[in-house]
């Protein structure tokens, strides 16, 4: 086991100083009722905060747009009751000495077409997306994707539609500041609406919102600019993005470093303070000829702080169906290359998901050498809000 002390050094993002580098990644728990998180969410986040997490990011929460969400069990980030529930979480995390950011989200064309499903808010309304063109999901646990092949499931968004969604994100960001959050995380990854504008397979527009990789950032740039105007210059804006999509795990939005730079720099200019770089395996290099992962390349090209994510702390058994496996059998041993990359300043923060579901005290267990207490992750732990 290598020296883990670098994990517990402070990091500052646009004036917000976090006590360490460990972040609880946004994870959809789907325990909400009508968009309102249950009271158990307070203890859920406080336990991780007291367990040593420097920053908690809430699960994907729908903005105030009629077709933002895919399920009534998804959290909302608008309206009196949902915001009151989130404020209770924020206040409790602060009282425990921690920090919190919500993740603002719109599903776009990953919402099913018009139907009568009572589990979907406003099922009579069509989804929205840049071109109305949807790609089928690779795999959805517990839900059958109604799109079995690529299809036109809605009309292309009008400029009024685009402005409405941008305004809803800005209102969500302002609400986050108003209830005392420490920043926001904008969900621009995994094939949701912002990412649908990035992706050439879902953005076929011929106007200023479509075209090459730089032109396809226009929607996100306008959204980020509106959010920055809503929250002011000193409120951290973090931005989650990914090469891969839920519809295509192997897709690369930017296949070369040069393309990646063309994609990222407009987002930096629009106001991103930190990039949350979503990968499925943190140790996998992003481009041939360099060991840098996505967070490493993003930091190198932008100079902005970045967060790496992807199977941190998991053991080999968690990848039983993955075929070839390149890490050691031990989840703890997998931290060695992570620490080496942190010490090389390849990225700044470490987003941890599943290990914090199973081990709320994971950071403290690492720092105090209580490795024998760390339990292996299991999907059964998702069944309860513990």
| Residues noted as catalytic | 192
- Exposed e or buried b per residue across 26-42, where buried means at least 16 C-beta atoms within 10 angstroms of its C-beta: bbbbebbeebbbeeebb
- HSE-up (13 A, CA, CB side) for residue 335: 20
For residue 355, which phi and psi values (nearest 5 degrees)?
Answer: -65, -30
- Exposed e or buried b per residue across 271-298, where buried means at least 16 C-beta atoms within 10 angstroms of its C-beta: bbbbbbbbbebbbeebbeeeebbbbbbb
Alpha-helix residue ranges (DSSP H) falling in 76-143: 80-95
| Residues in Cβ contact with 160 at an 8 Å cutoff, skipping those fewer than 6 apart | none
Distance in angstroms (rounded) separating the CA atoms of residues 182 and 16: 7
Closest among 79, 35, 81, 92 to 59, alpha carbons compared: 35
With vertex at residue 132, the alpha carbon angle to CA 126 and CA 136, rounded to the nearest 5 degrees, is 90
């Amino acid at each position: 086991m290598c020296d883990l002390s670098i994990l517990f050094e402070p990091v500052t993002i646009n004036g917000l100083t976090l006590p360490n580098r460990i972040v609880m990644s946004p994870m959809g728990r789907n325990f909400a009722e009508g968009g309102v998180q249950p009271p158990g969410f307070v203890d859920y986040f406080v336990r991780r905060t007291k367990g040593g997490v420097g920053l908690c990011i809430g699960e994907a929460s729908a903005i105030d747009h009629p077709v933002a969400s895919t399920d009534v069990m998804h959290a909302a980030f608008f309206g009196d009751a949902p915001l009151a529930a989130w404020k209770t979480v924020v206040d409790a995390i602060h009282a425990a000495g921690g920090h919190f950011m919500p993740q603002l989200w719109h599903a776009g064309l990953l919402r099913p077409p018009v139907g009568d499903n009572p589990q979907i808010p406003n099922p009579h309304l069509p989804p929205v997306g840049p071109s109305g063109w949807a790609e089928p999901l690779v795999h959805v646990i517990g839900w059958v994707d109604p799109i079995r092949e690529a299809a036109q499931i809605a009309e292309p968004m009008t400029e009024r539609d685009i402005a409405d969604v941008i305004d809803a994100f800005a209102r969500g960001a302002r609400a986050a500041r108003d209830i005392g959050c420490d920043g926001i995380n904008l969900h621009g990854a995994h094939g949701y609406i912002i990412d649908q504008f990035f992706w050439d397979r879902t953005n076929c527009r011929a106007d200023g919102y479509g075209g090459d990789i730089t032109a396809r950032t226009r929607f996100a740039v306008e959204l980020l600019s509106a959010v920055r105007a809503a929250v002011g210059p000193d409120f951290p804006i973090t931005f989650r993005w990914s090469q891969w999509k839920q519809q295509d795990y192997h897709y690369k939005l930017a296949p070369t470093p040069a393309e990646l730079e063309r994609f990222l720099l407009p987002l930096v200019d629009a106001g991103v303070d930190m990039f949350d770089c979503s990968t499925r395996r943190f140790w996998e290099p992003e481009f041939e000829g360099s060991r840098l992962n996505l967070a490493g390349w993003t930091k190198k090209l932008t100079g902005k702080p970045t967060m790496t994510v992807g199977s941190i702390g998991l053991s080999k058994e968690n990848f039983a169906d993955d075929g070839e496996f390149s890490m050691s059998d031990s989840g703890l041993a997998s931290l060695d290359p992570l620490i080496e990359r942190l010490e090389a300043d390849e990225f700044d923060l470490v987003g941890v998901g599943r290990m914090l579901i199973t081990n709320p005290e994971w950071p403290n267990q690492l720092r105090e050498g209580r490795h024998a207490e760390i339990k292996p992750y299991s999907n059964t732990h998702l069944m309860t809000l513990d």
